[in-house]
Each structure stands twice: as C-alpha cells, then as structure tokens.
Structure 1
Amino acid sequence: MKIIETGIEGLIGIETRVFGDERGYFFESFNEKTWKENVGDLPNFVQDNESMSHKGVLRGLHFQKTPHSQGKLVRVIQGSVLDVAVDLRKDSPTYGQHYKMILSGENKQQFYVPEGFAHGFLTLEDNTIFSYKCTNLYNQESEGGLMWNDPKLNIDWGIDHPILSEKDRFYQDFINFVSPF
C-alpha cells in the first residue's frame, strides 16, 4: 500500500500492490493491519455499496450530515471515473477546496474520503462499476449535497452536460451553504 498525499488533511489516495501473471491478477483491496501501519486509526466500515453507471453519469456531490456522516473508501472495479472530494469542515484550512483523482479498474487505486467531505464522481466509460465501503449506515433524512458545477468550487469535470439524477440537478450552491461539519 502506497499513500498518495492530497494536501488536504485526512483525504488520501491509495495505490495498491497488484500481482499479475498470465492468469490475471490479484490484489488486496483492504487489509486491516496494512491500513493501521500506513494510515493509522482504522475506520469502522459498516456498509459496502456498489453502483454501475454509463459514460457521462455524474453522481454527486453528496454527503450525510452528523450524526450519520460517512467516511468512504472508494474504488472502481471496472471502467473509470473522475473522483472528487470537497472539504466541508468549517474549521479546516482547506475548507471549500477539492481534490480529484482518476480511479479505474486498470490502475486499482483507491480514495479515502473521511467524514466532513462532499463526494462525487463522473464515469468516463460505459458500464463502470464503482464500489465503496462506508463508516456509517445510509440515512435518507441526513442526506445533503452541493451543485456539481458550482462556480465557487470551480471543479473542472471535463464535461458540460453530464447525465444527472433529478436530485443532483437541484442541490444547493456553495455560497449559501452552511456546513454541518
């Protein structure tokens, strides 16, 4: 496991060690001992989720408010995404800043998005399978989000007209946002 520094406290990229040969490949997507040695405190993962999306689908920017806030360890099993996390922690020196990375079935990289961040991703290929471990159970009443294309956040998604859910079309702008974190 190799840590990819993001410049935002708690937000880390993870490069996994992949063993490949003529049969295919093997890698550990999660190992408690390795996590503790490389990252530190182990999050208590309580829910795993998986989604499949077509090229051009943008899911986000989502978060869950306390006491149901979630940390997420995300990865792509098949296809690729542009993955984005935005720091929503009011007292953080990087409040409102974002970090992006490409996750793919090929590069096997992972992204740990702790509690206090909005998270979203844009699928770059058809039939992309996205998987994530969560530190808290989903709670519909605690769900929140920000506009994916908010000018204040200035995230370059590389697309002007992504495919959005109805919910993602009407999230709040960052200027009027009051962070629950």
Structure 2
Amino acid sequence: VVFVVDVARWRGMKLTEEIERWMEAYKRSKKDIYKYGMSQPPWLLAVRGRYRRLGAEWNCRGLGREFLDPKELAQLKALGFDKSSLKSLGTKPAGARLKPYVASCSSGAELLHFNGGMKPWRREKWDKRQLPALCAAPQRSKAAYAGRMVQAKGTNFTECAGLWWSYLSQAAARSLDLR
C-alpha cells in the first residue's frame, strides 16, 4: 500500500491538527478510546474517508527485489513474454524463480515503489552477485538514454535504480547526501 499526499490540501483541511486533537483526546481519556496503537487510529479518524483510491499505476512495486516469482513470471508470459524474450532480458533461473526481477508496470507508472532490499540509494549494500531489477523504460523518461538498455517484445528495459536516479534532482540528491 502506498500513501500519496497533496500537501496543500492536507494543510488546507487541517488534518495534522485533527490528528493531534485525537491524540490529545486519547491522552486525556481515563479509558482507551481506541485500540491497536497510538498513531494509526487518530490518522484514520482524521481522514475519515476523505481520500481517493488511486489506480495500480500509483504503486509499481517490487523494484527493489532480486527475484521474479512464478506468479509474476506468469503475468509477464500473459503479456507475451516468452522464454526467448526473457532470455534477451538476461534473466536466469534461480530455483523456481528467475532473476533479475522484471517490471513492466514502470512504463506507465506514476510512482516507483522500491520495496525489497535493493534500494537505489543504498547500492553499496547490495551483494555483488545480485542482478539489478529491470524496468520497462517510460518513453517520457530520461532513463531511456542512461545506463544499460535491453529490448524485449518491442519494449526498452533499463535498470530500475537508473530510472530512479534519472528522476532525482541534484538538489534532492545533495539533501539526501547521495552525491
């Protein structure tokens, strides 16, 4: 699950203040007024349905993973990726799985979700034997011209980490102490 905020609307609706009121009510209460933690219940009460569910393009996930599991492989095959096209991407068997992870969702993604251990901003922590995940490169992306490119089924693929770096501004990289 991914949570995306329109900060201007959040502030305009004074949701932080409402969360803080719920937390203060809990603090003043002699008995628990909600269960299951201190942070999520006040948040849920403040938001109270004032949100919009976003489409799948807002959670292109798995980009920090090393392996493609059988279910994900079946999804790629349903998109027309056969053994030959997967081989052209450089995938290799790893037990019942394949590596590297291959994401087709990135071509139309609004948000890239690097769940898994292979975070682009922590590349020094990757095992040298790990193969970086591959992402379908969006046509509008600068990443189509950066790093290693491979093609399969008429789609250009690049390292997901390179795609992330292509969107990161110099100022953001400096503030994160990444460059």
TM-score by length of 1: 0.27
Q: Which has the larger radius of gyration?
A: 2
- TM norm structure 2: 0.27
Query: Per residue, is there more helix in 1 or in 2?
Result: 2
Greater fraction strand: 1
